[in-house]
Amino acid sequence: MKQVLSKILVTSGVAMGLAMSASSFAAKPDAKAGEELYANGDMSRGILACVACHGVAANSMIPMYPSLAGMPYEYIINQLKNFQTPEGAKSSNRVDAQGNPTMMAPIVAQMTPEDMQNLAIYISKQTLAQPATAKLGADLEVVQRGREIWRAGIPERNVPACASCHGATGKGMPSAFPALSGQHPEYLEAQLLAFADGYRKNGGTENMMGVIANRMNRADMKAVADYAAGIR
């Protein structure tokens, strides 16, 4: 457990470094330009409107797409960059279950660093007005299991507490670890599976989220996702 937490702290430091790098794209991001790109896209460059999937003011109403409202500026930039394929690489850090580029890849490929900055500053200023809740019908045993993993992890499988990075109330650590409170449980579960199966590789230094998720079973993932959605 100590080794895992040590690596997480290193991950946090690296993530903060990436955030500083991301924030150095330009001197002053433009929230109005970001709002325009978010709401209308730019079809002349093949950039679809973000609102179609992520909802008005970044409040998603579709469980398979995450709500982005209020996510930190640097975190949004880093995630957009993760959909791009680095020079010399065969794929990006985020692919689909078949190992192919996601639907985000061709959109982000057309974005400039300024586009990313503008979108990120606009999204970071929004408020999560319609947070998701735990799935209806979740029984007490599932809720208790999710709370247990969130607060204490799974020591016998070397899974650290989710709260150690994402916070006791799921608010995350700005620029390093995302807020999970109020996120769609279906999306959270899908991301844990993607980390575990190697389709999402941007889980920090040595892809620590991939390592952690691999130590969880499907029931654990469902329980944590449901608990995170309802935590406040």
Binding residue ranges: 50, 53-54, 104, 162, 165-166, 209
Give CA–CA dist 179/166, Å, rounded: 6
Annotated binding residues for heme c, as ranges?
Answer: 50, 53-54, 104, 162, 165-166, 209
Give CA–CA dist 205/184, Å, rounded: 26
Give CA–CA dist 163/90, Å, rounded: 34
201: amino acid identity, one letter: K
Nearest to 214 by CA among 200, 229, 227, 228: 200
The string of DSSP codes covering 134-148 is PPTT--HHHHHHHHH
Give CA–CA dist 97/90, Å, rounded: 16
